[in-house]
Structure 1
Amino acid sequence: MEYTLNIKIKLPINQVIEKFNDEDNLKHWQKGLIYREHLSGTKKSTGATSKLVYKIGKREIEMIETITLVDPPEIFHFTFDSKNVYNIQENYFEQLSNNETKWISKNEFKFSGFMKIISFFMYGAFRKQSYAYMKDFKLFVEEGKSVLSN
């Protein structure tokens, strides 16, 4: 399953990247994030790995994030590996004007086990969740609104 999403953020690219790159900000725009733990490599650099744990509904989902490419300020690529789901995410940031940045997120999901069967029916849910994170990031960066206040 593959899809590309984009969102415009009314801030210069350097401010957007500063917020995107700050690990302490994740909790403000990734609803359900319980914690993040650095595992290996140099933080924020290609090859670094971290464990992320989310609460989604009544379930906890653990995944390993690997940074696969960092070329600031435009490119940040990751993989996320969890039980039966592997996500390749490519993030591109484009300066549109002095005060507007476009965030483009390309996602590819690979499934195994039972997820291979139900993924066919879950396309919309995956896409919707990805876009929700993007909208929450936009609200946090532009207006300082955190998902923790909801």
Structure 2
Amino acid sequence: MLSYTSEIIINKPVATCFSTIVNLDSMKHWQDGLISIEHISGTPREIGSIMILNYQFGNRKMKLTESVTHRENNTAIHFNFDTKMMHNVQKNSFEAIDETTTKWTSENEFFPRSFSSRIMLFLIPKAFKKQTQKYLTNFKNYVENGTSIANQK
């Protein structure tokens, strides 16, 4: 298992940050590699909803099943992400530092489902942390400045 916490300060109100993270249309602007979203069941980004997220990183394609396990408006949203090789529990919390500043904390736990994924977690844990931090930074840039990674491709 791999467990870590990432944080970022965003110079926007907590309501703006939360409404952006639950907005499916905004994902393409800050989630590098995302190519499509398939709604499976439930109301998107509500507890119990399930979606398939399709990513491409270079020649490597990845399909994640996203399940929302907890949601408190403007405070928290938790996800389970599943692939054949990995189960990821992600707990996102949003704290208003003041009226115009938010702290986003993302707690991640990765549980390998195979020997090869166990080896990968052991050998390259920094790659997982780096990817999370990249998404947090992309999100911050999108929320604060409207900077979209979709426009950079």
Partner of 2:68, secondary structure, is strand
**In the alignment, what sits opposite 1:123?**
125
Q: Which runs of 5+ in 2 are unaligned?
A: none
Unaligned runs of 5+ in 1: none
Cα distance in 2 for partners of 1:19, 1:122 equals 30
TM-score, structure 2 as length reference: 0.95
User: What secondary structure sits across from 1:53 in the alignment?
Assistant: strand
Considering only aligned residues, what root-mean-square deviation do their CA atoms show, in Å? 0.8
| Correspondence for 1:37 | 38
- Output one character per residue of 1:86-141: Cα deviation in whole Å (capped at 9) or x when no partner: 10000000000111000000000001221112210120000000000000000000
Residues 57-104 of structure 1 show CA distances to partners (whole Å, capped at 9, x for unaligned) of 211100100000011110100000012111000000000011100000
Counterpart of 1:144 in structure 2 is 146
The answer to whether residue 21 in structure 2 is matched with residue 20 in structure 1 is yes
Question: Matched residue pairs, number?
Answer: 150
Query: 1:88 matched to which residue of 2?
Result: 89
4+ residue stretches of structure 1 with deviation over 2 A? none
Aligned equivalents of 2:39 and 2:61: distance in 1? 18
C-alpha separation in 2, matches of 1:122 and 1:147 = 25
Q: For the residues of structure 2 that align with 1:74 and 1:10, how far apart are their CA atoms?
A: 16
What amino acid maps onto 1:98 in structure 2? E
- Give the structure-1-normalised TM-score: 0.97
2:134 is matched with 132
Question: In 2, distance between residues paired with 1:112 and 1:68?
Answer: 20
Aligned partner letter, 1:131? Q
C-alpha distance in 2 between matches for 1:54 and 1:88: 18
Distance 2:68 2:15 in 1: 20
**Alignment partners' CA distance in 1, 2:51 and 2:137:** 23
Aligned-pair identity in percent equals: 37
